[in-house]
Amino acid sequence: MISSMTGFGKGSAQNENFSVETEIKSVNSRYLEISLKLPKSLQNKEYEIREIIRNKVKRGKIILNIQLKRNGAGNNKPSLSKESLDYALKFLKELKKEAKLREKITLNHLLMFQEMYMEETVEETEVEFILTQQALEQAVKELIVMRNKEGKELSKDLKTRIRNIEETVNTIETLSKESVGEYFDKLKERAKQMLGDISAYSERLEMELALLVDKSDITEECVRLKSHTKFFLENLDSSNEVGRKLNFLCQEINREANTIGSKTLSTEISHLTVFIKEELERIREQIQNIE
C-alpha cells in the first residue's frame, strides 16, 4: 500500500515534574529532510531524535517541534557551577577590555552566557528524553496513520486513471488494425490517380506501400504501454518505496504515447493519445506526493 508524504501528528507525555508536547508534520520532498526545533536541554539528543524519525519515515520534508515544560520549577532548578560562573565572568571582563568598553557587566550580560555555568543533572536530562521519546513516537504514529489514509485515497485515484489509459490503449489497438488496411487502400487508389495504369508497377508498388504501412504500425508501442500500466498497478500495491518507480513508469508511458501519436495514420488515434497524456499529467501531479 502506498503512503502519502503529507501528514500531521501530535504526542504528549508527562510525569510529576515534566510535560512534553510534540508536533510533527510532513510535506512532499524528493528526499528525507528533517527540521527540528528542540529545547536547549534536548539539543544533545538530536541524533537519537532524528533516528526515531528515520526508522519510521523514508521520504518527505519533516518538521518537528518539541516543547518541554517544568511542573514546579523550584524542585527541578538546574544546578549552578560556581567555577564555571567565575570563568564566564572572567571571559566577559576580557571581552570588555579587548573591545575597550566602559559599560559595567550586569546580570543581563551574565544571563546571555548562562549555558556556561547553569547545569542540569544527568538524571533530569534522561527523564526528559524518555518522556520525549514517548511523545515523539505517539506523534510519529499519528503522522503515519494520516499518511497511509491519504495514500489509500491517492491509490484509488491512480488506479482509476491507469485503467482509463488501459481501456484507451485497447481502443487504439482496434482502431489501428482498421486504419492500416484503409490507409493501404487509399495509397493504392492515390497511386492509380497519379499513374493511371499501375499494372507495370504492381509488384514494386505493393512492396513500397507495404513498407510505408509497416512504418505506421504501432503494435509494439501498444504492447509496451500496456506492460508499463500493468507494472504500475502492481507497484501501487507494493509496500516498498514506490514514488520514484511510478514516476519513471509515467515517463515511459508518455514516451510510448508520443511515439503512437507520431506514427499513427488515424486522427482519432491521435486524439486518444492526447487523452492518455492528459491522464498522465494528472497522475504525475499525484505521484509527487507519494513516499
Q: Is residue 1 part of a domain?
A: no
- pLDDT at residue 27 in the model: 93
211 and 283 housed in the same domain: yes
- 207, pLDDT greater than 70: no
- For the chain, state the CA radius of gyration: 34
Percent residues over pLDDT 70 in the chain: 77
Q: Is residue 97 part of a domain?
A: yes
Q: Determine the structural domain holding residue 188 and report its residue range.
A: 151-287
- pLDDT at residue 47 in the model: 93
- 271, pLDDT greater than 50: yes
158 and 83 housed in the same domain: no
Query: How many Cβ atoms are within 10 Å of 261's Cβ, its own excluded?
Result: 18
- pLDDT at residue 179 in the model: 64
Question: Which of 148-162, 211-225, 240-254 has the weakest average pLDDT?
Answer: 211-225
- 73, pLDDT greater than 50: no
43 and 176 housed in the same domain: no
* Domains contained in the chain, number: 3
**pLDDT 10s digits, 78-115:** 566 677 777 777 877 887 777 877 777 777 776 666 66
36 and 95 housed in the same domain: no
Q: Is residue 264 part of a domain?
A: yes
Q: Write down the pTM of the prediction.
A: 0.68
169 and 52 housed in the same domain: no
Query: Which cell numbers hold the place of 218?
Result: 504501432
Q: Is residue 42 part of a domain?
A: yes
The mean pLDDT value for 8-20 works out to: 91
The beta strands (E) that lie in 145-218 are given as none
Query: Torsion angle of alpha carbons 174, 178, 183, 186, nearest 10°?
Result: -160
Domain end point (choices 67, 92, 115): 115
Q: Is residue 237 part of a domain?
A: yes
Q: For the domain that residue 24 is a member of, what is the CATH number?
A: 3.30.230
137 and 205 housed in the same domain: no
- pLDDT at residue 219 in the model: 86
With CA atoms as reference, report the closest residue to 147 among 28, 249, 285: 28
- pLDDT at residue 231 in the model: 92
Instruction: Band the pLDDT of 74: cuts 50, 70, 90.
Output: very low
96 and 67 housed in the same domain: no
- pLDDT at residue 62 in the model: 96
CA atoms of 3 and 120, how far apart (whole Å): 41
- pLDDT at residue 8 in the model: 96
Instruction: Band the pLDDT of 75: cuts 50, 70, 90.
Output: very low
283 and 204 housed in the same domain: yes
Sign of the Cα torsion 209, 212, 213, 219 reads positive
**pLDDT 10s digits, 145-176:** 999 999 999 999 999 999 999 999 999 988 88
190 and 254 housed in the same domain: yes
Domain end point (choices 63, 91, 115): 115
Higher pLDDT, 21 or 124: 21
The top-scoring range by mean pLDDT among 63-77, 116-130, 134-148, 207-221 is 134-148
Q: Is residue 2 part of a domain?
A: no
| 32 bridge partner residues | 60
Q: Is residue 220 part of a domain?
A: yes
182 and 155 housed in the same domain: yes
214 and 256 housed in the same domain: yes
100 and 138 housed in the same domain: no
Burial-class residue 56 by CB neighbours within 10 Å (0-12, 13-18, 19+): middle
